[in-house]
């Protein structure tokens, strides 16, 4: 369906067909929800407003103040509701604080309202409702609406976890016998408390008084299994609950951790790492119903505006190639991150597990060039890359960039979408190399242990990682680094007596000091480690106690 002459293009809404997708029919004639985000009453102050202040000097907006000053105007809400009525769309939710109106309708109604042509697309891996081209709006909403998500429900994000399943070699195994590697080939790995000790996390702090939000786009956990795990690693049982919010998903654990399609390993890794590092903090898990851009925005919006649990730290272990999201999605998510900064919320995100490509090597949608992961590429987030660690005498013997081969290792590089933030101006950010380009936002900011060869002990769906009997190594991935840093931030907040909030500028001021272990060996494909910041491991891995002392002084 073509746009009406009275409609105008929604800036940044362009969608392209995946290279591996084909149209197989019309979109199913069933109702679904679409989320319309609106402009703020007035622009947010930039995060740099507090970025240069010491933690003890920082003053933050409350969630209520944020909603009152920077939510949506009721008149704008009314305009969108009138638009819905004119187009036979039902208003499911209107929330000025979250700046959104959720609409429900059929594909035919949405086609007419937004000037799109919804179809059913099929790829080798899934089937989705999709669109191509732009979204259109009436002239009256030109400056009111900032994004529309949910028309297209293709998955955007994936978990950044490396949970290697048993090796199978049926061709060399008569009768279909499964061959597994010898137990001696399985690395030992570390428990999260052991990793925290290697990084000299403050031993006298627990994260008391802090609340860590863990964002999940699927999967689930069982409380009894968490109790078993924390007892096994010698950690006081932390408080772990789930949050309920409109449009949210459910805690829905699977039964087989060795199923590639089961995201439970991601969920358990996040909770077990954060809970082990900061057992005194409250952990609240927010489940989205799926991994679409609409769900990703929705669950982040719920976290930022949650006036019940009020998390002040967020861990995100999911993401997707920066270029695969629309401009409206990236900009809207970044607006939420700016809200978080103004409320003193620190957001940590995994930088990805596919090296400088940020694509799997066999993905036909990969163009062969370097990419960074989103939301890690936002300048308003703490992007967390990965290393491989070896230990000796309870200390770090060596630490290098995690890189296990082509498109397999620490995500990092140079953004194509976000400019270089002020805090990176003196960090020696390198230009993009593949394809060559300017020195824009560099990713990651920091790093930590992520390689499966030095990975984490995890218990999930009754399955232990590592499991030498089945040839299963520890769990790796930059998914582990986001909750590791989230736990460390909880310790720092407790030790400082005030949230560090948007912490990036503070950390870059400490680059090259004893607060970090500088990683100078290895590469992630297109980029090489070097002294100081690099696009593999950022400023390096933390020395927690030194970092706390540096932030105090």
Distance CA 442, CA 346 (A): 18
Phi then psi dihedrals of residue 23, to 5 deg: -75, 130
The answer, yes or no, to whether residue 52 has pLDDT greater than 80, is: no
pTM (two decimals): 0.95
**Catalytic residue positions, numbered:** 266, 270, 479
How many residues are there in the chain?
553
The answer, yes or no, to whether residue 24 has pLDDT greater than 80, is: yes
Give the pLDDT confidence of 109-120 residue by residue, as tens digits. 999 999 999 999
Distance CA 486, CA 270 (A): 10
The answer, yes or no, to whether residue 470 has pLDDT greater than 70, is: yes
Mean pLDDT over each residue of the chain, to the nearest integer: 94
Give percent of the chain above pLDDT 90.
90
Among residues 412, 423, 426, the alpha carbon closest in space to that of 383 is found at: 412
Give the pLDDT confidence of 266-321 residue by residue, as tens digits. 999 999 999 999 999 999 999 999 999 999 999 999 999 999 999 999 999 999 99
pLDDT of residue 199: 98
Distance CA 301, CA 319 (A): 16
The answer, yes or no, to whether residue 34 has pLDDT greater than 50, is: yes
Site of tokens 């230990």: 391
| Helix, strand or coil, per DSSP, at residue 99 | coil
Would you state the structure tokens that stand for residue 144, as one six-digit string?
């009111």
Question: Distances in Å between the alpha carbon of 490 and those of 7, 96, 276, 516, 553?
Answer: 48, 30, 12, 18, 18
pLDDT of residue 277: 98
- β-pair partners for 91: 103
The answer, yes or no, to whether residue 171 has pLDDT greater than 70, is: no
Task: Show the domains of the chain with their CATH numbers.
Answer: 7-56+71-149 (no CATH), 189-552 (3.40.50.200)
pLDDT of residue 155: 96
Alpha helices in 35-171 (DSSP H): 48-51, 63-70, 74-86, 107-114
Give the pLDDT confidence of 188-210 residue by residue, as tens digits. 999 999 999 999 999 999 999 99
CB neighbours (10 Å) of residue 340?
Answer: 26
Find the range with the poorest average confidence among 57-71, 174-188, 207-221, 248-262: 174-188
pLDDT of residue 182: 45
The answer, yes or no, to whether residue 514 has pLDDT greater than 50, is: yes
Q: Residue 175: pLDDT band by 50, 70, 90 thresholds?
A: very low
Would you state the structure tokens that stand for residue 550, as one six-digit string?
């540096």
Helix, strand, coil % over all residues of the chain, rounded to 5: 30, 25, 50
The answer, yes or no, to whether residue 90 has pLDDT greater than 70, is: yes
CB neighbours (10 Å) of residue 420?
Answer: 17
Q: Residue 180: pLDDT band by 50, 70, 90 thresholds?
A: very low
Nearest 5°: the CA angle 462, 468, 471 is 95
Would you state the structure tokens that stand for residue 194, as one six-digit string?
């052991």
Q: Residue 55: pLDDT band by 50, 70, 90 thresholds?
A: confident
The answer, yes or no, to whether residue 167 has pLDDT greater than 70, is: no
Residue 324 · residue 283 · CB < 8 Å: no
- Taking residues 407-421, report their average pLDDT: 97
The answer, yes or no, to whether residue 166 has pLDDT greater than 90, is: no
């Amino acid at each position: 369906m073509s746009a009406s002459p009275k409609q105008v293009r929604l800036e940044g809404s362009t969608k392209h067909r995946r290279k591996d997708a084909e149209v197989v029919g019309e979109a199913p004639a069933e109702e679904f929800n679409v989320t319309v985000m609106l402009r703020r009453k007035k622009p947010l102050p930039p995060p740099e407003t507090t970025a240069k202040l010491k933690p003890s000097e920082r003053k933050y907006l409350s969630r209520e103040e944020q909603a009152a000053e920077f939510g949506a105007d009721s008149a704008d809400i009314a305009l969108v509701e009138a638009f819905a009525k004119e187009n036979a769309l039902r208003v499911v939710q209107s929330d000025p604080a979250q700046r959104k109106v959720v609409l429900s309708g059929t594909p035919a109604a949405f086609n007419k309202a937004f000037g799109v042509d919804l179809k059913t697309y099929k790829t080798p891996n899934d089937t989705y409702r999709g669109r191509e081209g732009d979204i259109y709006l009436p002239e009256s909403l030109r400056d009111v609406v900032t994004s529309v998500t949910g028309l297209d429900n293709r998955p955007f994000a994936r978990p950044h976890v490396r949970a290697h399943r048993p090796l199978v070699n049926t061709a060399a195994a008569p009768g279909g016998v499964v061959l597994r590697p010898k137990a001696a080939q399985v690395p030992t790995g570390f428990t999260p408390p052991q990793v925290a000790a290697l990084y000299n996390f403050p031993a006298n702090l627990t994260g008391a008084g802090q609340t860590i939000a863990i964002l999940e786009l699927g999967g689930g956990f069982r409380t009894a299994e968490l109790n078993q795990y924390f007892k096994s690693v010698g950690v006081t049982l932390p408080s772990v609950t789930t949050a309920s919010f409109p449009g949210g998903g459910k805690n829905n654990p699977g039964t087989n951790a060795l199923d590639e399609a089961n995201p439970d390993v991601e969920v358990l890794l996040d909770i077990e790492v954060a809970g082990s590092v900061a057992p005194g903090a409250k952990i609240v898990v927010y489940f989205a119903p799926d991994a679409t851009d609409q769900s990703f925005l929705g669950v982040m919006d719920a976290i930022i505006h949650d006036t019940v649990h009020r998390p002040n730290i967020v861990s995100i272990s999911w993401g997707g190639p920066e270029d695969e999201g629309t401009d409206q999605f990236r900009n809207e998510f970044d607006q939420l991150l700016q809200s978080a900064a103004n409320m003193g919320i620190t957001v940590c995100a995994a930088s990805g597990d596919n090296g400088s490509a940020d694509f799997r090597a066999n993905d036909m949608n990969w163009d062969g060039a370097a990419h960074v992961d989103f939301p890690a590429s936002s300048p308003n987030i703490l992007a967390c890359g990965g290393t491989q660690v070896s230990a000796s005498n309870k200390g770090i013997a060596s630490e290098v960039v995690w890189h296990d081969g082509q498109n397999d290792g620490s995500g990092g590089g140079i953004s194509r979408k976000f400019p270089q933030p002020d805090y990176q101006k003196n960090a020696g950010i390198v230009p993009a190399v593949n394809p060559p380009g300017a020195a824009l936002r560099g990713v990651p900011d920091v790093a930590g242990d992520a390689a499966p060869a030095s990975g984490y002990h995890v218990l999930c769906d009754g399955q232990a990682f590592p499991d030498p009997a089945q040839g299963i190594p520890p769990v790796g991935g930059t998914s582990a680094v986001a909750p590791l840093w989230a736990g460390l931030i909880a310790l720092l907040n407790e030790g400082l007596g005030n949230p560090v909030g948007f912490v990036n500028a503070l950390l870059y001021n400490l680059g090259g000091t004893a607060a970090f272990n500088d990683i100078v060996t290895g590469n992630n494909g297109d980029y090489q480690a070097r002294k100081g910041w690099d696009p593999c491991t950022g400023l390096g891995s933390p020395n927690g106690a030194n970092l706390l002392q540096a932030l105090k002084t």
